[in-house]
Structure 1
Amino acid sequence: MNRDAPDGWPRGGEWNWLWEAYAVGLAVATIVAVVLLDHRFPGNVVGAAIALSAMAAVVLAFGRRVTRSPDRGWRAVAFVTMVVGLWILAMLASPVSVAAVIATYPVVFSTLPLRTALVVTTIVNLIPLGILLLTHGIEAPNLTMAVAITLIGVVAAPVVGTVITRSMKQRRQLALLVAELAATRAESARLSREAGTAAERERLAREIHDTLAQGFTSIVMLAQAIEPELESDTAAAKRHVELIGATARENLAEARAMVAELTPSPLEEPLPAAIARQCDRLAAETDAAMTVRIDGDLPAQSMSSDVVLLRAAQEAFANIRKHARADAVTVELTPTGTGVRLAVTDNGIGFNGHPEGFGLRGMRARVAQVGGTMTLATAEGGGTRLTVEVPS
């Protein structure tokens, strides 16, 4: 991952009020020094104060705008030239103004490339000594002090400039990291929303398949059975009409519970009672002989585990209705060492290969979500045996 500034990123984009306060504060401090030291280093106090004040004003007016502009070019050169030029004017007015040289360092290093800035600051540091030599020659007073100050500036400027540049680069990298983190968090949130949407769709698909779709299938089968019974067996037809009404009411309750995101309606009663009721419905709809063995000492389970067992029973009964052609079904709900086992066995035609319809895939997914196991095998003597175990 590239941590350098991208194209178009302002190299001085980290210029802030601290640099402005630094430059303006030094200009003000230098004005005070010019006034206080005029008796020792006489000069034009008013001229120096005006030039230093103008330098501070230029920094405040253009510093942030120039250093944050992605396309600087001549603007950067003009800005640096104005600041350095005003400092030179102040120094020509009063030699004490040389103290403001360090105010030019952040201006130069935040505006120009590092190599160019190093050259410019070196020249700036040599200017006071050059002016002294041009005006007074080698016999100039305080020449030794001027040489010492110049050497200090020549050595200090690259160090200060490098620190400024590195600080700006680190701030730039930090800004990039923050931007990347924000983008990553936004992408993570988007993916999380998509995953949540997909999971909710899958959950609703399983709920609809395991409840509403199976209820409608029962209604269709019962309706088909009624037609030949209307003339030959009125009692059976009436019983099937009642089953259609009961199934429709249960489907309506399921739909309302799903819409309201409530507990599935069959589990408004204990799991054994819900399983027994499903067994009664299957017997009434198919006339199959039902054998139900429900242990009376089942361990306490979570609601999610109870839902898995109930949905597994509903799916098994739906397959028996549609495919098995069974006339005998055995349902067992018993405790295990670690949870509860549901076993549904029929004596129907069995299955060939590895059936993997939507219902079975959904059942496997439900069982896996609660850490359970599911097996589908051929029963002894033919038919199918479905076994689901869930932890308590």
Structure 2
Amino acid sequence: MTASAGSTADAFWTTTLRRWNAVCWVLFAVMAVGLAAIDRPGGSKYAALLLLGAVVVSYAVLYRFPANPVVRPHVYLSVLVVALGGLAYLRNNYAALFMVTLPHYWLFGRTPRASVVFLGLATAATLAASVLRHGWTVEFFTEILVSTVLVVAVGGLIGLWAHSVVGQSAERARLITELEETQARLAEAHQRQGAADERERLARDIHDTLAQGFASIIVLAEAARAGLGSEPARSAQQLRSIESTARENLAEARELVGSPQRPGQVAAGSVAQTLRRTLDRFAEDTGLTVDAELADLECDQQTRIALLRCTQESLANVRKHARASTVGVVLARQPDGVELEITDDGGGFVVAESSGFGLDGMRKRLAELGGRLTVTSSVGDGTRVLALMPLTAEAGEASA
């Protein structure tokens, strides 16, 4: 049982105990007054007062100092059993105390087995004391034995039912606590996953935009510096490219921290125009031959951005690693979406051994939109990057 479930059961017992506590103290006071003021002086009177006092003291200690909930309740129940047996032997008015203290066996027994044992001992003690006082008579059988057995049987059934109800309540409390803890852990896991996804998205966007732009600026700056003396016109053109790339990076940075266009909205213009500007800039900066076949089609903003990022990443890899002379780019409409193919005649690489962030970022970006990326390459045979993206119905109708 969890701490919460245990505290629920303890709260039930505490509330019930407080209710019966008031009844018990009233009864103790009435019996004490009755024994002291009404009965005649004698040994039996003082013995009865002593037994009642022992019950009162043990009950008061139990109620005032409940620090040891295992030993002290059983001590009190033992005193109660002895006192009931003694009062049944000394007097006839023990029945009220027996009736009122009947729930105590269930309140302090803690377990059904202990409660039944102490209740059985109390019943046996009172019946045995009554037999010793009155003898085995018809009156004893009809008035004392039958009534006591009926009261104990009803009290036992009620006690067992109460224990069952409390057990079910504790189990429900335990299940509720576990459910709340599970929900809290799940919410925390979702929060951590959301934060991780957001960090990954930002890292991917920064890699695809700002990082690529800075890498391009570095390459252009190195080339411009190297050609300042021999090719001033070429260096001037590269400086203009640096300026243009820096402005684009600034615009990308503002877009990253601003409010992006809503996903699914059809963007103005075609993706072909966007890719054409990127390819022209790449050819101008690198001097490589770019063969482009770009179909004039419309697509939503998210798809347009994904295709643009794939193109930028592929061109950046060509610039940094491929040592190619020609790059081919084909954008075509397919029955199930739009297809972008980028090839180069560079040195190639082993795809399985690639550990860069760029290819993995492209795959995840396309997968988030329902697309897929296929990279084919081998050493000495160039590289082929194939991106297939589905189109929304609105963009598909506009493209058709």
TM range (shorter): 0.7 to 0.9
Question: How is 1:287-302 mapped onto 2 (pairs within 5 angstroms)?
Answer: 287-298=287-298, 300-301=299-300
Match of 1:209 in 2: 207
Q: Secondary structure at the match of 2:335?
A: coil
Code of the residue aligned with 1:244 in structure 2: it is: I
CA spacing shift, 1:77–1:178, aligned 2, 3 Å: same
Q: Which residue of 2 aligns with 1:368?
A: 367
Distance in 1 between the 2:99 and 2:302 partners?
Answer: 72
Determine whether 1:385 maps to 2:384: yes
Give the corresponding residue for 1:285.
Answer: 285
**SS of structure 2 residue aligned to 1:291:** strand
SS in 1 for 2:346: coil
Task: Quote how far apart the aligned CAs of 1:214 are.
Answer: 0.9
Deviates more, 1:80-89 or 1:130-139: 80-89
Aligned residues with identical type, % of pairs? 30
Aligned residues: CA RMSD: 4.3
Cα distance change on mapping 1:323 and 1:106 into 2, 3 Å: same
Following superposition, the deviation at residue 320 of structure 1 comes to 1.8
Specify every segment of 5 or more residues in structure 1 that has no aligned partner in the other structure, as ranges.
Answer: none
Structure 2 unmatched runs, 5+: 40-44, 392-400
Q: In structure 2, how many angstroms separate the alpha carbons of the residues matched to 1:64 and 1:351?
A: 85
1:107 aligns with 2:104: yes
Partners of 1:105 and 1:161 within 8 A in 2: no
Q: Post-superposition shift, 1:361?
A: 1.7
Give the whole-Å Cα distance in 2 for the aligned partners of 1:297 and 1:202: 30
Q: Does 1:256 align with 2:274?
A: no
Alpha-carbon distance between aligned partners in 2 of 1:344 and 1:161, rounded to the nearest angstrom: 80
Measure how far apart 1:227 and its partner are. 1.6
- The amino acid of 2:385's aligned partner reads L
Check conservation: 2:323, 2:346, Cα contact below 8 A: yes
Q: 1:178 aligns with which of 176, 179, 199?
A: 176
Kindly state the Cα deviation for residue 109 of structure 1 after the two structures are TM-superposed.
2.3
Asked if structure 2 preserves the Cα contact closer than 8 Å seen for 1:15 and 1:64, the reply is no
Q: Say yes or no: does 1:353 pair with 2:350.
A: yes
Residues 213-237 of structure 1: CA deviation (Å, up to 9, x unaligned)? 1111110111111123222332222
Distance 1:62 1:82 in 2: 12
Calculate the TM-score normalised by the size of structure 2: 0.74
Q: Distance in 2 between matches of 1:307 and 1:106?
A: 75
SS of 2:311's equivalent? helix
Q: Aligned pair in 2 of structure 1 residues 147, 309: CA closer, same or farther (>3 Å)?
A: same
**Residues 1:94 and 1:26: Cα distance change in structure 2 (over 3 Å):** farther
Name the stretch that deviates more: 77-86 or 175-184.
77-86
The CA distance in 2 between the partners of 1:339 and 1:58, in whole Å, is 85
Structure 2 contact 78–118 (Cα < 8 Å) conserved: no
CA drift at 1:21: 6.9
Report the Cα distance in structure 1 between the residues aligned to 2:213 and 2:187, rounded to whole angstroms: 38
Matches within 5 A, 1:152-167: 152-167=150-165
Q: CA deviation at 1:209?
A: 1.7
Q: What is the SS of the residue equivalent to 1:13?
A: helix
Letter in 1 for 2:69: R
| Inter-partner Cα distance in structure 1 for 2:226 and 2:136 | 129
How far apart, CA to CA, are the structure 2 residues paired with 1:342 and 1:88?
A: 96
How is 1:45-60 mapped onto 2 (pairs within 5 angstroms)? Answer: none
Asked if 2 retains the 8 angstrom alpha-carbon contact of 1:215 and 1:247, the reply is: yes
| TM-score, normalising length: structure 1 | 0.75
164-173 or 146-155, which moves further after superposition? 164-173
Q: Is the 8 A contact 1:14 1:168 kept in 2?
A: no
CA shift for structure 1 position 83: 6.6
Give the match for residue 125 of structure 1: 123
Q: Structure 1: which amino acid aligns with 2:147?
A: I
Q: Is the alpha carbon distance of 1:362 and 1:102 closer, same or farther for their aligned partners in structure 2, counting shifts above 3 Å?
A: farther
